[in-house]
């Protein structure tokens, strides 16, 4: 049973904790605003969820699509929205959680739809040093091996971006110079799957995907 309110709260805390590290990463490879954008979006989503009726992933989706600037924010909004849609389809609009297997299947299909939409819009493949490098392996692992495996696959995918050269986004202007640090969008995605796993399987002891802030 996945508690969407708990996911949102835990994700908000993780993003607050990770703000410095994400900002450092984006100053290395982008324009430095990813940590700010992610934190502002998550804070706004928490407020929206408290006012209702949208909760959890639906609140995240609406805020990241409508309010967050830059390009990676709205792309994440597509992922949140597709997950929210899949969970709603599985359990109805009340947000009530059903059997755990149904949740996992719905989350996996929503994340897969989100990945498809993000790739259609962003035209990025695995290996292009984008958030797809964390999301694609996480989606594959989620449907096959469950929450913890998805969190691990996302973290490892994000770690691999440190050795990749960007073809899209602002990091593409830097070429080889962006190497050495992970892509902040990929780390953000890894943080999301880490959050989902720690909520869904409280016993699992998963390492945080956040690199130490410089």
28-36, 38-46, 80-88, 158-166 -> range binding other proteins (CB under 8 A): 80-88
The reply on whether position 35 binds other proteins by CB under 8 A is: no
The reply on whether position 71 binds other proteins by CB under 8 A is: yes
Q: CB of 214 within 8 A of CB of 182?
A: no
Q: For residues 65 and 204, which CB has a smaller minimum distance to other proteins in the complex?
A: 65
The reply on whether position 51 binds other proteins by CB under 8 A is: no
Site residues for other proteins, window 158-177 (CB under 8 A)? 167-168
How far apart are alpha carbons 7 and 147 in whole angstroms?
13
DSSP annotation of 162: G
Question: How far is it between the farthest Cα atoms of the chain?
Answer: 48
The least CB distance from residue 76 to other proteins, in Å, is: 11
**Which tokens sit at 159?**
């770690």
Q: How far is CA 67 from CA 63, 124, 188, in A?
A: 5, 23, 18
Site residues for other proteins, window 107-126 (CB under 8 A)? 117, 120-123
Angle at 184 between CA 179 and CA 210, to 5 degrees: 100
Q: 72-91 and 100-122 helices cross at what angle (nearest 10)?
A: 150
Site residues for other proteins, window 11-30 (CB under 8 A)? none
The reply on whether position 54 binds other proteins by CB under 8 A is: no
Binding site residues, other proteins, CB under 8 A: 65-66, 69, 71, 74-75, 77-78, 81-82, 85, 117, 120-123, 167-168
């Amino acid at each position: 049973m996945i508690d969407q309110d708990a996911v949102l709260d835990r994700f908000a805390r993780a993003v607050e904790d990770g703000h410095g590290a994400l900002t450092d990463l984006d100053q290395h490879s982008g324009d430095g605003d990813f940590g700010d954008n992610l934190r502002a979006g998550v804070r706004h989503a928490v407020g929206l969820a408290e006012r209702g009726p949208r909760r959890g992933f639906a609140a995240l989706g609406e805020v990241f699509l409508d309010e967050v600037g830059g390009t990676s924010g709205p792309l994440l909004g597509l992922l949140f929205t597709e997950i929210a849609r899949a969970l709603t389809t599985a359990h109805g609009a009340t947000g009530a959680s059903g059997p755990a297997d149904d949740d996992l299947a719905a989350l996996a299909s929503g994340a897969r739809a989100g990945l498809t939409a993000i790739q259609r819009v962003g035209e990025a493949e695995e290996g292009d040093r984008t958030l797809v490098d964390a999301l694609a392996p996480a989606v594959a692992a989620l449907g096959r091996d469950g929450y913890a495996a998805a969190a691990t696959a996302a973290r490892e995918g994000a770690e691999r971006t440190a050795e990749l050269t960007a073809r899209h986004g602002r990091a593409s202007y830097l070429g080889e110079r962006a190497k050495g640090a992970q892509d902040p969008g990929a780390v953000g995605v890894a943080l999301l799957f880490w959050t989902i796993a720690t909520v869904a399987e409280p016993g699992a002891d998963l390492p945080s995907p956040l690199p130490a802030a410089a």
